[in-house]
Structure 1
Amino acid sequence: MEPALTSKNPISCLSVNTSATAMKDTDSKRSDEGLQSNLKLEEPTSRRKPASFWLIFAALIISVFVVVLEATSVGTILPTVASDLRISQFTWIGSAYQLASTAWLPLSGGLAQIFGRRPVMLASLTLFAIGSAVSGASNGEAMIFTGRTIQGLGAGGVYTLSSIILSDLVPLRERGIYNAMLGIAWSTASGLGPIVGGAFAQSGNWRWLFYMTIPCAGLSAALVLIFVKLPTPHGDLRSKFKRIDWIGNAIVMASATSIVIGLTWGGVEYPWKSIRVIAPLCIGFVGLGIFWLYEGLFAKHPLVPFYLTRNRTSLSGYVQTTLVSICLIGLSYYFPVYFQACKLASPTSSGVDMLCGALVIAPMSIVSGGMIMRTKRYRPPIWAGWALLTIGFGLFTTFRADSRVGLWIGYQVIIGTGFGFTYSSAYFPVLAPLPISANAPALALYVFFRTFGQIWGVTVGGAILQNGLVNRLPAAFYAQFPKGTNIAYSAIPHIRDLSEPLRGEVQTAFADSLAVVWRVYLIISAVAFVASLLMRGLPLHTETDKDWDAAAPKGSQGA
């Protein structure tokens, strides 16, 4: 039996009484009672989907594809953008995007509950398109940082609303295959991103990487506008704005910003022991603590209801979501560095070299989703995925500057299989213990942790690589770069022109520094595997939230 919420109103879903005992030990209740009170779980629930469903789903796929393509292609154009715009702190091109995306995620989930799914999705796609235009037209670091921030706001909304809309249309029990389809879009975009970015970088037309996403966002927005007919909540604009947790949003945005500033400055602009690094990190983490206290004790309409993490299964899912995101984004940002520095590959070639891993993720996502739908069990593929990632990153630590082609192809296949099994599957332990009426806040928090993990993946991976290169590069070579420069991307264009033995020494420094990055991801994967052992095996919901049923009359909640 589903745990009862204190309110049936979807608008007030975010203000559920978190002190109610209905949510206590939710996962054990679902485990013990699920098979008895939900015998209909064994009944087939799948039915033929109408054309309107597939058009909505196409809009979600296009939205996810274009956002992920842009996000994963930026890593290969960073050296070119930095050179053209003369940017020294160009890690902020990635960090500004991730920061804005993360800050917007919890708010977008709340806005979707209050204003409806379609308006928030359309607003997110519009922001993404505007940010793309600003980024493409940039003539300096201030402008491109602004554009990437706006893009990140839009991307955060797209990520959240895609998951929420899918949950409104498909019950959790059937969602494995649809998650796998979204995973195909995501992994295909991830595989093509570095290649597309590299091609634009080599041709000198990197601005078109941003411009080309605008018509794609427009197409997706048109499909959403025409076909997404989910109900819109009642209420005037003033009362709806009162339901937004403005204080909670301000605290979490400020805290996340402070943490990212500390991570970005550490080891690059200032030493890690500098007060300029320690202070923002401490302020950020203290701020997150204050945020959780405020949400639990004072917020009238909490941004993150406490009941979402009061069971060990959902908590395990959130932890895994964060950790897999750290590893995945770190790999997509810093594995091209290996090919460009150690193999002297062009940006395009480095993207091609990563294809063998990226293209494995899609079929493995389908396998994972199919297993979950068929067996009704989400734990085995997750455990297998974390085991493969732990093994794969362990093998990555053995890479040297002269490692053979067969090694980095084979190791990528192992890594890609692990990501295919884990990245989308962590979604199931998050939702299985919770009532279906909690989908929106639960998924907003899920995407928040996923994107917050990506911030850590970019900044922590970059800090480790930077510090490794500072300590390992030949002094004569390192001395030519100004203080505060990101050594990795600044040094790559010069390596090909170096004579031996200096070139070999520089390439060895890169390989050894990257080995430390892979070692950290190995530890993270092992920790995530341990966290996955905390999950319970719970029944999967066979219904969608009737308050957000696409078939429901629009008047049920408002026009």
Structure 2
Amino acid sequence: MSEIPAAADHAVAVRPKDLRFWLMLLSLCMALFLSALEFTGVATALPTIAADLHGEGFVWVGSAYALASSAILPMTGALAQTFGRRHSFLASIALFTIGSAICGAAKNMGMLIGARTIQGLGGGGIMSLTTIIIGDMVPLHERGLYAGVCFGFTWSLGAAIGAVVGGSLANIGQWRWLFYLNLPLCGLSGGLAVVLLNLPTPPGTWRNKLSQMDWIGNFLVIAATCSITIALTFGGINFPWSSVHILAPLVIGLVGLIFFIVYDAIWAQYPLVPFSILANRTSFSGQNFITPMTMVAIIYYLPVYFQACKDADPISSAVRSFGFALVGPASIVGGVSVKILKRYRPQLWIAWALQIIGSGLLTTLKVDTSTAATVGFCLLYGAGAGIIYSVAIFPVQAPLPVTQTAHPLAFYSFMRVFAGVWGVTIGGAILQNGLLHRLPEEFLNQFPGGVAIAYSVIPQIRDLPQPLKHEVQIAFAESLSVVWKVLVGLSGLGLVSSWLMRGLPLHTVTDKEWDPSKEVSQS
């Protein structure tokens, strides 16, 4: 396939990077940092939170956030295109702030899950709008470096600090401050955005803009993602996988996604996902789904290994997960390599190999595996995931004209976040089902809620008498090994999918319609 023309009448040459450019990038990085900080902080503190709130629906604390994020993401492209990047970005920060405040004040698991849903709407918007705005600021052939800094380095730094902060606060019983700390940071990020993001706003009345939204498409994708997540969350735990309670929402959700694609391709006047993305094998690459799925699963369930099998407290488990910090430097290396070589496929092939090896080594984790070995395994996986994180954006946009930025990048973000839903829920389902069959009956009988409550008392495992304690730890290690094995298979599938994409030239211009140097419209 030859490169799609860059639509010369809409193209603008690259301008020098002035102070305003770097300040705009700073405001975007700060908002993304908050999202990453929250994500890993909650994952690390989750056992303590579940025990404190006496909740059996612990999986929903992560899934609700990921579900809300994925449901809103396809809409963010249309919101950015219709209402402008600036207003949409500020609304996302506002939602994240409100959700954080309610999370901190949560009195029960239901309230926390509801607040995490609001937080997820804001977090999804932050991720998507950051990607779109950087796409407006930087041409594709340079974008790897900035994507590596903003998404790879900033995200991994926030994730690493979030894990330590979450673990520290959980360790002293103050997990609520994990959410309250967001409030001043959100205020600072929002203030910077108000001052610095002087971005173009499309003209037109609100009524006209609302009429340009694909409401039917939005309803279909939200309903479908919710239905699938419900099935994945309750399958094998509350109901057998063969139960109609699981099969019905799963089938309805999958059919709904297919109908959404067909509707947007044939009938939608303002489609959420333009057909040019779905019809192109390079743009519609499975690797944008698989890496986030495996990475989120590891982020959520590696702390479980440390806390259940190694007697680690939340802060210690966060420190032992620092191998993932290599995601940041690796993403920058990946982005720079694309800028220099003008190619993206070889980097993806190498990255997938590293990810397969790293996740494969995780399958060998036992109760007595050394911390040094575990950190080394995480370093290998993190190197591969980091490269993919910054390089995967190129096959998405290389076949498309520069005028198609918002919708493809919103869909790109949707694929990543929806993958997180699958990562959390599939990992949780495998873990819970494994524990159901491996935990000693003596241990299970102590908790009327079964395995879900057993998971919520992970901080108490260290106080169990022997040999019960060792048996429980072995059950966790063996159940988690199944999770890691599934991730190896998924990574192999990602490698295969990368063989199908084509190597294409990269755009050297941006779309003048969204040039950040333009004056802001007051319409």
So what's the TM-score if we normalise by structure 2?
Answer: 0.96
Deviation larger for 501-510 or 485-494: 485-494
Instruction: Select 2:474's aligned residue among 508, 513, 528.
Output: 508
Q: Amino acid of the residue matched to residue 514 of structure 2?
A: W
Alpha-carbon separation, structure 2, partners of 1:58 and 1:214: 18
* Within-5 A mapping of 1:468-483: 468-483=434-449
Aligned pair partner of 2:291 in 307, 312, 324: 324
User: Secondary structure of the equivalent of 2:198?
Assistant: coil
Q: Find out whether 1:181 has 2:154 as its counterpart.
A: no
2:213 pairs with 1:244: yes
For 2:68, what is the secondary structure of its paired residue?
A: helix
Q: Does 1:58 align with 2:26?
A: yes
Distance in 2 between the 1:79 and 1:257 partners? 24
How many Å separate the matches in 1 of 2:454 and 2:484?
16
**1:144 and 2:112 matched:** yes
Q: Measure the CA separation in 1 of the matches of 2:451 and 2:210.
A: 43
Tell me the CA shift for residue 312 of structure 1. 1.4
Q: Distance in 1 between matches of 2:216 and 2:29?
A: 33
The alignment of Structure 1 onto Structure 2 pairs a total of residues equal to: 519
Contact 1:181/1:366 (<8 A) preserved: yes
- TM alignment of 1:60-139, pairs within 5 A: 60-139=28-107
Q: What one-letter code is carried by the residue in structure 1 that aligns with 2:299?
A: S
Inter-partner Cα distance in structure 2 for 1:98 and 1:331 = 15
SS in 2 for 1:457: helix
Deviation at 1:483?
3.5
Provide the rounded CA distance (Å) in 2 between the counterparts of 1:117 and 1:201: 36
Q: Tell me if the contact between 2:14 and 2:508 (Cα under 8 Å) persists in the aligned partners.
A: no
| C-alpha spacing 1:441/1:48, structure 2 compared with 1 (3 Å) | same
State how far apart, in whole Å, the 2-side matches of 1:94 and 1:250 are: 22
Structure 1 partner of 2:180: 211
Counterpart position of 2:3? 30
Rounded to whole Å, the distance in 2 between the matches of 1:55 and 1:107 is: 27
Aligned to 2:308: 341
RMSD: 1.7
Deviation at 1:73, TM superposition (A): 0.9
Within the alignment, does 1:281 sit opposite 2:250 as a pair? yes
TM-score (norm 1): 0.90
Q: Which residue of 1 aligns with 2:513?
A: 547
Greater than 4 Å deviation, 4+ residue runs? none
Cα distance in 2 for partners of 1:495, 1:484 equals: 15
Give secondary structure in 1 for the equivalent of 2:366: coil
Query: 1:269, 1:483 within 8 Å by CA — same for their partners in 2?
Result: no
Deviation at 1:108, TM superposition (A): 1.3
Cα contact 2:432–2:451 (8 A) shared by 1: no
Shift of 1:485: 4.7
Instruction: Give the Cα–Cα distance (whole angstroms) in 2 for the partners of residues 47 and 435 of structure 1.
Output: 19
- The share of aligned pairs that are identical, in percent, is 49
Structure 1 Cα separation of the partners of residues 330 and 506 of structure 2? 21
1:552 shift after superposition: 2.5
Give the unaligned 5+ runs of structure 1.
1-27, 39-44
1:161 to 118, 124, 129: 129
Q: Which residue of 2 aligns with 1:517?
A: 483
CA–CA distance in structure 2, aligned partners of residues 488 and 248 of structure 1: 40
Query: Is the aligned partner of 1:461 residue 2:427?
Result: yes
Deviation, structure 1 residue 488: 5.7
2:308 alignment partner AA: A
One-letter amino acid matched to 1:528: G
CA distance in 1, matches of 2:273, 2:186: 29
Q: 1:367 aligns with which of 308, 330, 333?
A: 333
Name the CA distance, whole Å, in 1 between partners of 2:437 and 2:451. Answer: 14
Aligned to 2:377: 411
Give the distance between the partners of 2:68 and 2:209, measured in 1 at CA: 23
In structure 2, list runs of 5 or more residues that go unmatched: none
The one-letter code sitting in structure 1 at the alignment partner of 2:499 is: L
Aligned: 1:225 with 2:194: yes
